[in-house]
Structure 1
């Protein structure tokens, strides 16, 4: 789908560093990423490096997504799960707690996935030595905060239709080159249960809401979560977004 570059197999769109980097910064970034790759199959719970072994220095470990989809989540003691975010190529996450000896989240591969697992001190050294990369990573962090805040607002104060509509718009914008266009298909490799865990809804509620959106001519959804937006104006009205504005806020600028 995306044209790949010579940097860890990532497209320009999915690298956390924009065009115009100096050759030294570009080479340093690629060398660090390529030197710490690991592959995991769909459904795998990612074993977080160093969990329970921290010394409180806050170095942590950074997980950088090279390919595939992952989810980060928290679970209650009785097993109820809330998916906090969906991680796509180009996203990075340090899941450690402030004390450095526990993970704040669980990370699971939704699809076959390739990650770079980098010790925090090595990642920090890279950002210190190459401020342009640090600024790009900071922009990506702000984009992640924006999308999670928008989703949380609808999860807490919106309707089931609004949170599902927003989440579908968000994932379409983040995972495709064509963006939100009526009549174009996009795929979400999530079950309705997983989509519900992201939206704070039961699988039954997700199913009913998607069917209602289909009956009203807004979406077409297959059993495998291939989705076509049939009425973009109504979908974005339900989601309470402007597509261009949302794209600017959740897709880090180069």
Structure 2
């Protein structure tokens, strides 16, 4: 009888998801700065990372879809009891993260340790500009409804018909109440290009809502990233 394969107690996994450019470049900067030895699953749909030597250096693996990430997480879990996951994503397109969490959270042993969400660019601020016209009571109501909707979306089935029959949300709009409620469910940091925008009197409620969960994207790092954008593209093309 062959010996049983030992199951390790736990491991740390980093997942990187983006469909734009700025968050991808910021994620590259984070990978370089953190120098983490943890396994990395990377899905950058606009700029796929395909350099095998580079992937090997960062203990990374390129994925081609949310389904692909789910499949790989399932495979990796076969050798461990628990998996502690940190997800790096795009704030405006955080529905991609919701789709992933809805799937992997149903796997035994998964622990969503932290979310690191990065501004898409101007999209978040365009949404804030529209949202700030709401009255205070309407803003509070929208944030509460957004949290409930996000929770329902994540806890629902991947099958739309099942979600409809069970009353779980079928939709997750790219709105303030959806993209800025993640910290209510998981430890989250929102990396913002313009944290000072929250100082507008009309956004007082949103600033209070996000208190302690925002971080300004370093201006020097951003400028350096822009100056070395062509070099970065060499890494992701």
State TM-score, norm by structure 1.
0.28
Q: Which structure shows the bigger proportion of residues in helix conformation?
A: 2
TM-score of the two chains, using structure 2 as the length reference = 0.30
